[in-house]
Chain A
Amino acid sequence: MSRRLFPFHGGVHPEPHKRESNTTPIRAMPLLPRYVVPMRQHIGEPARPTVHVGDHVLRGQIIGEAQGYVSTAVHAPTSGRVVALEPRPAAHPSGLYDLAVVIEADGDDRAVAFQPLDWRNMDASALRNRVRDLGVAGLGGAVFPSYVKLNPGAQRIHTLIVNGAECEPWITCDDRLMRERAGETLRGIAIMRHCLAAERVLIGIEDNKPEAIAAMRAALAALDADDARGVEIVAVPSIYPAGGGKQLTYLLTGLETPSGGRSTDLGIQVFNVGTAYALWRAVELGEPLISRVVTVTGHVAAPGNFEARLGTPLVDLIAAAGGELPGATGQIVGGPMMGFDLMDDAAPVTKAVNCVIVKNATLFPPRAPDLPCIRCDACARACPVVLQPFDLYWYSRAKDFGRAQSYHLFDCIECGCCSYVCPSHIPLVDYFRYAKSEIWQREREKLAADQARQRHEFKTFRLEREKREKAEKFAKAAEKTKAAAGAPVDADAERKQALLKAAMERAQKAKEAVQPKNVDNLPPAVQREIDEIEARRAAARDAAEHPADAGADK
C-alpha cells in the first residue's frame, strides 16, 4: 500500500494545534434570525442578484445567478424575506464592503424541492450546468467554480487528486468531514471521476490524521467495486504546505505544474475533499451549496467544527463555539499561515471560509520588530517553490518590480514559510503581496493607457478624415452652385439653434424643479455661500447659452 512519494523542497513544521477542535463531532448551527449572503463568494465574476428587497425566498432558492463563464450561483440559506440588497462587510483582508443579499429568516426553513440528478446517465454538459446552478465551488480556499474544473475540455485527465491534506495548523474541518462523512465524500469523488473520465484517483491525507485515513479506507472498502477501482488513499507526510495544490500534485506524482499553468496541463485535476462532499450533496440529493463545515478554534470556550449556513455572520458562529474567552485579541479567517485578520466580525461565512481562529496574546503573540535581512537563506531553504525570498524581498522593498518579477515573484504561492522561519522577523509575504498587487495595478493602468491612446489616435484620425471629406463635399457643392446664382439661406442652422435653446430651457426648468436637499435652516454664512455658487453657476450658464460657437451649426 505504500506508494512512492516525491517530497517537495522546503516546507516547515508549525505547531499543528489540531487537537483543540478535532475531538468533537461536527455540530449543527441553530437557525439564525438573519443571514448576509455575499454575491462574491467564488473566484471570477460575482453572482448577479435575482431577488429584490421584499421578495420572499425559500431555502435553496437561487438568489444570485452565475454571470460569465467563471462564476457560479448563490442560494438562500433559509426561507425568509429579503430585507436588503446592499454592500455589507465581507470576509476579505481589506475589510471592505461587498454586495450581499440580507435575508430575514421566517423560522419555517422551508426549502424548494430538491431534484436528485441521475448523474451516471446524464449528458456531461447538462450535468455541469446543473452543478453551476447548484453553486458548487472549491471549498479548499480557492473557491474556483467546480463546474469549470469538471470539464476536461481538450485535455485528457488521467489522474484525479483529492486534497485531504489539510496542512494548515488549527484547521480540522476536512479531518472531521472525512471521519464522519467518508462514504458521501467518496461518492462525490466518484462523480468527479465520472465527469473527468480519470482512470486513477489519489486521495492525499496527511499522516497526522490517522482516524480520517482509517475512516476513508473503511468507506472505500464498502464502496461499489466500480467506483472504488483505481482509487487510492495515500498517507502523506505532515509538512506544511503539503496541501498546496501544486505541492500535493508533486508529492503524489513527482510532476511539477508548469509555472503559470494549471495541473490540467499535466493531465491532473485537483479537488478538495470538502468540494467532493458538496458535490455529492448537490448531485445525489439535488441540494445546492448552502452550508459548509467551518472550524472555530483558538481562544473560544468550546472549539470545534460547525455545519454553518453560508451567510452566517462570523460573530454568531463564534458565539456558537461558546464565544470568545476573555483576553481575545482578534480573529483570523483561514489558517494561521495563509489566513487574514478579520476586520469586522459581522462578515459572514462564505464558500471560502474554512476556519475562524480567535487569537490571544499567547497563541498569537504580536510580531517582533523586524531587523535587516542577513541573507541567511533560511527562507530559501523553507520555500516550497525554490524561490530566493531574500532577493524578492530586496526588490519588492525597493519597489523594483521589474526585477522582482524576473526573479519569479509570481511563482510565489504566499504560503508564508519564509516569513515563518525568518530570524529577522521580516514580513516577507507582505512585501510579496504588496509587489504583486502593485504590478497588477500597473498592468491595469498600462492597459487602460494603451486603450486610451488608441482611442485618442483614432478619434484624431476620424476628425481629420471628416474634415477632409467635408472640405471635398463643400468644394463639389460650390462648383455646382457656381452655375445657379443666389445665396441659399441657412435656415437649417437657425432652426437647430432654436431647438437647442428650447431644450436648454427645458433642462433649466427641470433643474430648478429638482429641489435641493438639506437646505432648510441653514446658517446665514452657508446660505450666502450657496447663493454665491448659484450666482456663479447662472453666469456660467449664461455664457454657455449665448456663445458664438461653431458647435451648434454642425
Chain B
Amino acid sequence: MTGSPHVHVGNTSVAAVMAKVMAALIPGTIAHAWFFGPGIWVSLLLCGLFALVLEALLLRLRGLPLKPFLGDGSVLLTAWLLALSLPTLAPWWLYLIGTLFAVVVAKHLYGGLGQNLFNPAMVGYAALIIGFPAYMTLWPGPIGAVDHSLTLWEAFDLVFAGQGAVSHDAVTAATALDTWRTQTRLGTPVDDILTRPMFGWIGARGHEIVAAMYLLGGLLLLSARVITWHIPVAFLAGIVLTSGALHLIDPAAHADPLFHLFSGAAMLGAFFIATDPVTAASTPRGKLIYAGLAGFLVVVIRTWGAYPDGVAFAVLLMNACVPFIDDYTHPRVFGHKRASKP
C-alpha cells in the first residue's frame, strides 16, 4: 500500500541527475583532450569499462538487481571523475586499481549507492597517489609546452605497452603546481618560475582553460538546480581567502589566488567533486562549513603537503567530518524558536 502523494515531478531520477552532471563535464573533458592530447579518451574508456564491470560484479555478489543500479549512471560518473583526475598516460592497470578502490572499496564495501562515506573517485585517486606516486606524475604536457603532440594510437601504445614510438619523457611534463612548489622551495624567483612553459596567463597552461570549462559546466549545473551555490562558492572562497592571505604575507613563496583557482583540480573539485551529494554535507550551513574548510585544506596541502594537488585529500578529510557537521547545523524548523541539535 502506498499513500500520498500520488504524483511525482516526473522529470527527475537518480539517472537524470547523474546524466546532467556528466553532461556538464563534457566541455571540460573536450578542453582537456584539446590541451593534453587524446590520452584522456583512453583513460576515460578504461575507467568506464572497469567501473561497469566491477559494479556489475559487485551487484551480482550482493544479490542486487543489475538494471536499476547500472542504469542510474552513478558508477559512470565516478569513473569519469576518476579519469579526469588521473594522469592520462599511466599504464592501464593503474586505472584498474584506481577504479577498484573507487567502486569496490569506497562504494560497495560501504553499502553501495548512497551509503558511502567517502567520495569514491577521490578514494581511487588517493589510493593511487599513495601506492604509485611515480606513475601519478605521467601527466602529458599541454600543447606548446612539450615538443610532441600525441596521437590517439600513440596514447594507446603508452597505456598498454608502456612505450612505443614515443617515450613518456617526450610527452609528459611536470605540472605547474609541482613546478611552483619545487622551485619556490629551491628559492627560484617568482618571475623566473612564471616564465616556464607550463604556466599560462593566470594559472597553469592548458589547465586554466580546462578549469574555465569546468566552471562553465558548474554554472550549468547551478542553473539546472542540480547543485546549490553553497558548496562551490564556499569551496572557492576557502581557496581564495586562504591563498590570498598567504600571498599577501609572502608573495615570493605563495602563488596568488587566481593561480590556485585555475590550476590543478580546484574548479573540478568545487563543482563536481565536493558537490557529490552522498558524501557532502546536506544542510545549508553545513555545506558552507564543509566546503569552506575543504577549500582551506586544498591550499594548505598544496603549500605544505607532499602531494601534487590537495583537492582529493581535502575533500576526503572533510567527507569524514560530514556526519558531525550535518548533526550540528540542522536548520531551524518552522515553528521552532531556534535550531536545536537533536
Contact = CB atoms under 8 A, between A and B. Distances in A.
A156 B74 CA distance: 56
Most buried by B among A250, A260, A367: A367
Interface in B247-269: none
A246 B14 CA distance: 32
B319 interface: no
B113 interface: yes
B68 interface: yes
B342 A403 contact: yes
B14 A374 contact: yes
A52 B332 CA distance: 54
B336 interface: yes
B14 A424 contact: yes
A302 interface: no
Contacts of A433: 3
B5 interface: yes
A369 B335 contact: no
Contact of A374 (B1, B7, B113, B283): B113
B304 interface: no
Interface string A240-253: 00000010001000
A47 B326 CA distance: 48
B113 A371 contact: yes
A406 to B, nearest CB: 4
Contacts of A334: 4
A423 B16 contact: yes
Most buried by B among A259, A338, A339, A371: A371
A423 B5 contact: no
A258 B72 CA distance: 41
Nearest to A379: B282
Contacts of B3: 93, 340-341, 427, 429-430, 433
A374 B278 contact: yes
Contacts of A257: 335
A384 B7 CA distance: 18
Given A375-B277, A380-B282, A421-B12, A429 B4 contact: yes
A372 B113 contact: yes
Contacts of A419: 4-5, 8
Interface in A321-346: 332, 334, 336-341
A406 B333 CA distance: 12
B305 interface: no
Contact of A375 (B114, B333, B335): B114
Contacts of A176: none
Contacts of B112: 372
Contacts of A386: 331-334
Contacts of A430: 2-3
B315 interface: no
Interface stretch (A107-115, A128-136, A408-416, A524-532): A408-416
B117 to A, nearest CB: 11
Interface stretch (A8-16, A38-46, A474-482): A8-16
A364 B331 CA distance: 34
Interface in A357-372: 359, 364, 367-369, 371-372
B4 A416 contact: yes
A411 B282 contact: no
Interface string B1-33: 111111111001110110000000000000000
Contact of B282 (A169, A388, A408, A423): A388
Interface string A367-406: 1110111111110110011111011000000000001001
A144 interface: no
Contacts of A380: 282-283, 331
Given A9-B334, A421-B12, A359 B5 contact: no
A420 interface: yes
Nearest to B3: A430
A381 B4 CA distance: 19
A438 to B, nearest CB: 15
A339 B6 contact: yes
Interface in B319-342: 326, 330-336, 342
A371 B334 contact: no
A359 B2 CA distance: 15
Contacts of A381: 228
B331 to A, nearest CB: 5
Interface residues of A, number: 63
Interface string B78-116: 000000000000000000000000000000000011110
A120 B7 CA distance: 46
Interface in B273-288: 277-278, 280, 282-283
A97 interface: no
A408 B326 CA distance: 15
B335 A406 contact: no
Contacts of A374: 14, 17, 74, 113-114, 277-278
A338 B283 CA distance: 26
B283 A388 contact: yes
Contacts of B333: 259, 385-387, 408, 411
Contact of A339 (B1, B4, B74): B4
A425 interface: yes
Interface in A231-280: 246, 250, 256-261
Given A374-B114, A430-B2, A420 B335 contact: no
A119 interface: no
Given A375-B278, A386-B332, A337 B114 contact: no
Nearest to A372: B114
A332 B114 contact: no
A377 B334 contact: no
Contacts of A256: 334-335
Contacts of B74: 374
A367 B2 CA distance: 9
A266 to B, nearest CB: 10
B12 A423 contact: yes
Contact of B335 (A246, A339, A427): A246
B327 to A, nearest CB: 9
B74 to A, nearest CB: 8
Contacts of B331: 380, 386, 388
Contact of B8 (A8, A368, A391, A407): A368
8 contacts: A336-B6, A336-B7, A368-B13, A371-B68, A374-B14, A375-B282, A427-B3, A429-B5
Given A246-B334, A260-B335, A377-B283, 9 more contacts: A12-B9, A258-B335, A371-B72, A385-B334, A388-B331, A390-B282, A419-B4, A429-B3, A430-B2
Interface of B: 1-9, 12-14, 16-17, 68-69, 72, 74, 112-115, 228, 277-278, 280, 282-283, 326, 330-336, 342
